[in-house]
Amino acid sequence: MCSTAVYPGSFDPITNGHIDLLERALKIFDNVIVAVATNPSKESLFSTEERLEMIKDSLAHHPLKNRVKVDLFQGLLVDYVQSIPAKAIIRGLRAISDFEYEFQMALMNRKLSADIETAFIMTGMRWIYISSRIIKEVVRSGGDVSGLVPDIVEKKLTERLAGLSKNSLC
Ligand code: PNS
């Protein structure tokens, strides 16, 4: 029987750290669903559809792409995981600072659905200091993020954030 895990997140936007984590998850699970959260209360730079498209484009030539599905979900993560059905949620850990939030979320998800386990995977050392938030901050200030995000994401970030700064001058 195939094992399937769900890798949820905001992915605003996907980074090379996320892709590293996905590759590590594929060493454990046969298939991984990258699930982009649709959360109207959380402000994001890219729409859910744009985030989904960027993930698909970033993985288009990936050797493991046939074992990955990219999807959107709304509402409770555990409901989505059950609807697949999958048994595990993948989350990445970079530093101790991630732990408190991740611990809280994993235990809440366990309370909501005792059958679903959260598997934490340590990100590769190369990506330990990057996050979508810090990538956006750097691009917004004109910094170079090449090699930290897929090329397509770098292009979209530059277009979007250059557009924002142009607008702010009007
Ligand atoms: O990349 P992020 O922003 O850290 O991902 C957080 C995400 C989307 C995984 C989390 O907010 C989530 O699961 N949202 C869905 C709503 C839900 O199920 N909440 C209860 C668990 S805390």
Top mutation candidate among 42, 93, 105 for ligand 1, by most atoms within 8 Å of CB: 105
Ligand 1 atom showing the smallest separation from residue 8 Cα: 9
Amino acid at 23: E
Q: What is the pLDDT along the chain (170 residues), one digit of tens a residue?
A: 899 999 999 999 999 999 999 999 999 999 999 999 998 788 999 999 999 999 999 999 999 999 999 999 999 999 999 999 999 999 999 988 889 999 999 999 999 999 999 999 999 999 999 999 999 999 999 999 999 999 999 999 999 997 665 555 44
The most distant pair of C-alpha atoms in the chain lies apart, rounded to whole Å, by 58
Q: What's the chain look like in SS3?
A: CCCEEEEEECCCCCCHHHHHHHHHHCCCCCEEEEEEEECCCCCCCCCHHHHHHHHHHHHCCCCCHHHEEEEEEECCHHHHHHHCCCCEEEEEECCHHHHHHHHHHHHHHHHHCCCCEEEEEECCHHHCCCCHHHHHHHHHCCCCCECCECHHHHHHHHHHHHHHHHHHHC
Top mutation candidate among 34, 44, 77, 81 for ligand 1, by most atoms within 8 Å of CB: 77
168: its two tokens: 């702010």
Look up the pTM and report it. 0.95
Which residues neighbour 49 within 8 Å (Cβ) at sequence distance 6 or greater?
72
